Amino acid sequence: MTFASVTISPQFAQELLELNTNNRPVRTSSVRQISETIKEGKWIENGDSIRISKSGVLIDGQHRLEAIIQAGMPIAQDVAVGLDDQAFAVIDTGRRRSKADTISVMGLKNASILANAIDLLYAYRVNKDIHIMNRKVQSNEDIVQYIDQLRASGELEFIEELVSQSSIKNKRLKAFSPALWAVIDFILKGINTEQADYFIHSVVTGDGVSSRDKTSPMFLLRNKLIETVTNGKIQFRLNYKLALVFKAWNAFREGKVMKQLSWDDRQDFPQPK
């Protein structure tokens, strides 16, 4: 068995793929993600080899090779030649490292919730899309770089603190996951901390929200969110609920009374002010 570090061009990648006779079906999402990483200059060689058996069959690396072709750019890769023909059975049997795994290794607490919160915050700030079903899937590399940005700006400690409190909000009102409660908290406190504390506490707990004041943005929002917990209709998808939060927040900030609280996707998505 021999190893070599090789610069694999799109043309060479195509030649190697012709040795692929029995690999798994190609996962287009994986190819797309690797390709974007290559095009953005974020590809890091991690020691994983392109593996070719003694009989000249490609047994590992097809997604990387497809991504090189899709990106139209070469990358450096280790290539292992001469593996036992049965080696394919024990390749990739381990679980891919999740974002939570990556964050945990970095020594950050509440890794699972924090990973989801940072993923959502990245989608909201960088991709301008917080709707889970439509947003780009961030790679581990994207998240690590974004964590470094949050640390440099002094915001990482703040989002960690909000994450540590988010499960309590989720237990009181399950309209959002703990991670999303933390992100909503982060966004609104970035506008006005004192008002955000009052607004979110009122909505989550119902404290100070009187049924006699049915024009209060917090009263209307709390009732709508409670309805979403007990009714799984499509109208209650994530972007709908977030739009209600931001509309109610803007009305609260402007001191407006509201006769009703509604939104549909024919309207512009409200931005918190």
Per-residue pLDDT tens over the stretch 36-86: 889 988 888 777 889 888 888 888 888 899 999 999 999 998 898 988 866
Determine the longest span between alpha carbons in the chain, in angstroms.
Answer: 79
CB-based contacts of 33-37 (< 8 A; 24+ apart in sequence)? 33/137, 33/139, 34/63, 34/64, 34/67, 35/66, 35/67, 35/68, 35/70, 35/71, 36/71, 36/139, 37/67, 37/139, 37/141
- b vs e for 244-256, b when ≥16 Cβ sit within 10 Å of the residue's Cβ? bbbbbbbbbbeee
| Domain-ending residue, one of 90, 121, 150 | 90
Going by pLDDT thresholds of 50, 70 and 90, the confidence category of residue 179 is very high
* Same domain, residue pair 46 and 22: yes
pLDDT tens, residue by residue, 6-42: 899 999 999 999 888 765 567 788 888 889 889 988 8
Number of domains observed in the structure of the chain: 3
Q: Find the length of the chain.
A: 273
Both 161 and 127 in one domain: the answer is yes
User: Do 7 and 40 sit in the same domain of this protein?
Assistant: yes
- 196-229 pLDDT tens trace: 999 999 999 998 887 777 889 999 999 999 988 8
pLDDT at residue number 86: 63
Q: Pick the more confident residue, 101 or 50.
A: 50
pLDDT score for 94: 45
Going by C-alpha positions, the residue among 36, 19, 33, 41 that lies closest to residue 96 is 33
Burial (CB count <10 Å: 0-12, 13-18, 19+), residue 183 = buried
d(CA 206, CA 221): 10
Q: Which tops the pLDDT comparison, 196 or 89?
A: 196
Note whether 157 and 210 are same-domain residues: no
| CA dist., res. 165 & res. 53, Å (int) | 52
Q: Is 76 helix (H, G, I), strand (E, B) or coil?
A: strand
Q: What is the pLDDT of residue 56?
A: 87
Residues 185 and 113 in one domain: yes
The CA distance from 83 to 46, in Å, is 19
- Do 55 and 140 share a domain, yes or no? no
| DSSP letter assigned to residue 235 | G
Same domain, yes or no, for 80 and 129?
no
Instruction: Please name the residue that has the structure tokens 């799109």.
Output: 10
Q: Kindly tell me if the per-residue pLDDT of 88 is higher than 70.
A: no
What is the per-residue burial (b if ≥16 Cβ within 10 Å, else e) of 37-57?
Answer: bbeeeebeeeeebbbbbeeeb
At 255 the pLDDT is 92
Q: Which two tokens stand for residue 139?
A: 């790679």
- The pLDDT of residue 209 is 81
Show which of 23, 56, 90 is a domain's final residue: 90
Confidence of residue 138 (pLDDT cuts 50, 70, 90): low
Mean of all residue pLDDT scores within the chain: 84
Confidence of residue 129 (pLDDT cuts 50, 70, 90): low
Q: Are 62 and 107 members of one domain?
A: no
What pLDDT is stored for residue 143 in this prediction? 80
Domain match, 124 and 38 both: no
The domain boundary residue, chosen from 70, 90, 110: 90
| 223 & 254 share domain | yes
Structural domain harbouring 99 = 95-190
Instruction: Say if residue 234's pLDDT is above 60.
Output: no
Same-domain pairing of 211 and 245: yes
pLDDT band at 89 (very low <50, low <70, confident <90, very high): low
Cα torsion 76, 77, 78, 80: sign: negative
DSSP for 137-164, please give it.
PPPHHHHHHHHHHHHHHT-HHHHHHHHH
In this structure, are 185 and 197 located in the same domain? no
Q: Which helix (H) or strand (E) holds 196?
A: helix 193-205
